[in-house]
Amino acid sequence: SQTIHQWPATLVQPVGSPLSLECTVEGTSNPNLYWYRQAAGRGLQLLFYSVGIGQISSEVPQNLSASRPQDRQFILSSKKLLLSDSGFYLCAWTRTFEAFFGQGTRLTVV
Amino acid sequence: AQSVAQPEDQVNVAEGNPLTVKCTYSVSGNPYLFWYVQYPNRGLQFLLKYITGDNLVKGSYGFEAEFNKSQTSFHLKKPSALVSDSALYFCAVRDGGYNQGGKLIFGQGTELSVKP
């Protein structure tokens, strides 16, 4: 069966510090991969998606970047965090129609 | 662009009563529609999807959804609510084919509260 791992679960970082969030998927190959952010409240904003290794599409220009160095690995990064980067970050994958989500990373920038 | 709307921020239901969480969609072409549930500080869990076929779709945990093309709706339903159903529910539509990313676009969510 397929599983998705996302870490860390929580993170507190100072403004201006770098960020690296990692997501890996097991039990499938060549999935589409996604990063979403859920700000305080509830809305889910799609940040990046990838249809293959090294292929990244950005939905919203901002202080973040994404990379896919391996087929089942998706990384969300920032060189310098802003207060506005705080939120709940969710990684997801799909091979057909529905997407499956990781457990999320709660990022607080202080 | 594809979009979904959830007109209710919150739905309150008594345990044992039927529940409905509403969703309307706006798409070009055939819609691929989904429902997800989120518990506090957790990721989203897939409940059910409509791709084609029967308008009544059955999913996990006793939930079902009715696809109505004329009303462009995809409402989530359950015949008898449980207190444990209390959570945040999201409707979503797929934007683009799989090779174009197959992105899910989400509604704003509806908080379901089931009281004993």
DSSP string, B42-60: S-EEEEEEE-SS-SEEE-G
Judged by CB atoms closer than 8 Å, whether chains meet at B109 and A43 is answered as: yes
Return the pLDDT at A48. Answer: 96
Residue A37 neighbours by CB under 8 Å, 6+ apart: A44, A45, A47, A87, A88, A89, A90
Q: Is the pLDDT of residue A41 over 90?
A: no
Return the pLDDT at B29. Answer: 86
Q: Is the pLDDT of residue A61 over 80?
A: no
Of residues B38 and B99, the one with the higher pLDDT is B38
Domain limits at A83? 3-97
For the stretch B58-69, pLDDT in tens is 999 999 999 999
Q: Is residue A62 part of a domain?
A: yes
Q: Is residue A104 part of a domain?
A: no
Q: Is residue A30 part of a domain?
A: yes
What mean pLDDT comes out for the span B16-32?
Answer: 95
Return the pLDDT at B98. Answer: 80
- Nearest chain A residue (CA) to B92: A98
Nearest chain B Cα distance for residue A82, angstroms: 22
DSSP string, B76-102: EEESS--GGG-EEEEEEEEES-GGGT-
Give which of B100, B93, B91, B77 is closest to B17, Cα–Cα.
B77
For the stretch B40-49, pLDDT in tens is 889 999 999 9
Number of domains chain A is built from: 1
Which residues in chain A have Cβ-Cβ distances shorter than 8 Å to B100? 51
Which residues in chain A have Cβ-Cβ distances shorter than 8 Å to B47? none
Which residues in chain A have Cβ-Cβ distances shorter than 8 Å to B108? 42-43
Q: Is residue A110 part of a domain?
A: no
Which residues in chain B have Cβ-Cβ distances shorter than 8 Å to A100? 46
What mean pLDDT comes out for the span A69-77?
Answer: 97
- Nearest chain B residue (CA) to A44: B106
Q: Is residue A105 part of a domain?
A: no
Local confidence band at B28 (pLDDT 50, 70, 90 cut-offs): confident
Return the pLDDT at A2. Answer: 85
Q: What domains are defined for chain B?
A: 3-115 (2.60.40.10)
CB neighbourhood size of B5 (10 A): 14
Residue A63, Ramachandran bin (φ over 0: left; ψ between -120 and 50: alpha; else beta): alpha
Interface test mutation site (partner A, options B3, B44, B51, B95, max chain A beta carbons within 10 A): B44
